[in-house]
């Protein structure tokens, strides 16, 4: 299992770096739409959303990302239009009103949770692809140190009701890993960012990654599944790989703006 994780990471990480750093921002939009679509399908499958609502939600998610990139001032309108359309669709495709609130709520929450939170990465890539690299490297090192430190030294559980394997030591590893990742990228690509700001960004990413991971675990435990899918050998599903960055992305963006690092 660990071998599969390393092989997948060794293949994907260099490809993603080259893709992000050397292609125009529009290509990053295409990548986000692609992974968001798969993650949304996984999320809707977790809660057994019917095919019509499921694929309508996926279409709305792609539209939200595209509108945010091309006409961000219309994003709120398109989000509300999506909610209205999905509620109306549920009304006409199924006469039985039972479970309608749960079904519609899950579909709309999926839009907020996945494409909605991913939109902050479009703001980051417009400020420069290196910010996306810093975000993802910080998240990746955060997750890696959380796993290995938790496995090696973790005894006290962090939140056993949601994720029995998470430990306090792993959480400390997540904070340290985020800082290490951010400082590394600062050293090789972002020398204009101070060391203090890099550490602050990294620790914040590490903290947000913990919350994002636990939130997805909460949803999976409610749905009664272990992984969102098995599309990535040794890693689970696309949503399992995005769970940390969905929360870390907005927090990283807000803090970067607050510190005056990006506009």
- Domain ranges for the chain: 2-258
Q: For residues 223 and 47, is the Cβ–Cβ distance under 8 A?
A: yes
Which whole number is the average pLDDT over 72-90? Answer: 97
Distance CA 117, CA 121 (A): 8
Q: Determine the pLDDT at residue 112.
A: 97
Q: Which of 247, 225, 229, 248 is nearest to 238 (CA)?
A: 229
| Residues 168-180 pLDDT 10s | 999 999 999 999 9
Reported as a pLDDT band with limits 50, 70 and 90, residue 1 is very low
Q: For residues 229 and 236, is the Cβ–Cβ distance under 8 A?
A: yes
Distances (CA, A) of 128 to 4, 111, 190, 220: 32, 26, 11, 34
User: What share of the chain in percent tops pLDDT 70?
Assistant: 93
Reported as a pLDDT band with limits 50, 70 and 90, residue 80 is very high
Q: For residues 30 and 52, is the Cβ–Cβ distance under 8 A?
A: no
Distance CA 216, CA 107 (A): 15
Distance CA 93, CA 100 (A): 11
Which whole number is the average pLDDT over 4-21? Answer: 75
| Residues 96-111 pLDDT 10s | 999 999 999 999 999 9
Q: Determine the pLDDT at residue 235.
A: 58
Q: Is 237 helix (H, G, I), strand (E, B) or coil?
A: coil
Tally of CB atoms within 10 A around 226: 11
Q: Determine the pLDDT at residue 225.
A: 85
| Residues 224-243 pLDDT 10s | 888 776 666 555 789 988 99
Distance CA 250, CA 98 (A): 35
Distance CA 249, CA 121 (A): 6
| Residues 55-68 pLDDT 10s | 999 999 999 999 99
**Bridge partners of 215?**
none
Q: For residues 42 and 59, is the Cβ–Cβ distance under 8 A?
A: no
């Amino acid at each position: 299992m660990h071998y599969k994780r390393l092989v997948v990471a060794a293949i994907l990480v260099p490809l993603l770096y080259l893709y992000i750093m050397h292609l125009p921002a529009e290509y990053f939009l295409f990548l986000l739409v692609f992974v968001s679509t798969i993650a949304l399908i996984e999320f809707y499958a977790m809660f057994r959303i019917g095919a019509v609502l499921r694929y309508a939600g996926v279409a709305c998610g792609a539209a939200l990302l595209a509108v945010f990139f091309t006409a961000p001032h219309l994003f709120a309108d398109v989000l509300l239009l999506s909610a209205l359309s999905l509620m109306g669709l549920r009304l006409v495709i199924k006469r039985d009103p039972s479970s309608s609130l749960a079904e519609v709520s899950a579909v709309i929450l999926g839009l907020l949770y996945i494409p909605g939170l991913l939109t902050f990465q479009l703001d980051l890539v417009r400020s420069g692809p290196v910010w996306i690299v810093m975000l993802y490297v910080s998240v990746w090192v955060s997750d890696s140190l959380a796993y290995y430190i938790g496995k090696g030294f973790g005894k006290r559980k962090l939140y056993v009701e949601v994720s029995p394997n998470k430990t306090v030591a792993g959480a400390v590893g997540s904070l340290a890993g985020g800082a290490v990742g951010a400082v590394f990228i600062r050293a090789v690509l972002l020398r204009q960012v101070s060391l203090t700001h890099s550490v602050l960004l990294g620790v914040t990413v590490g903290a947000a990654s913990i919350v994002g991971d636990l939130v997805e675990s909460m949803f999976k435990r409610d749905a009664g599944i272990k992984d969102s899918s098995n599309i990535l050998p040794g890693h689970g599903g696309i949503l399992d790989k995005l769970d940390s960055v969905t929360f870390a992305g907005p927090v990283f963006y807000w803090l970067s703006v607050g510190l005056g690092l990006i506009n």
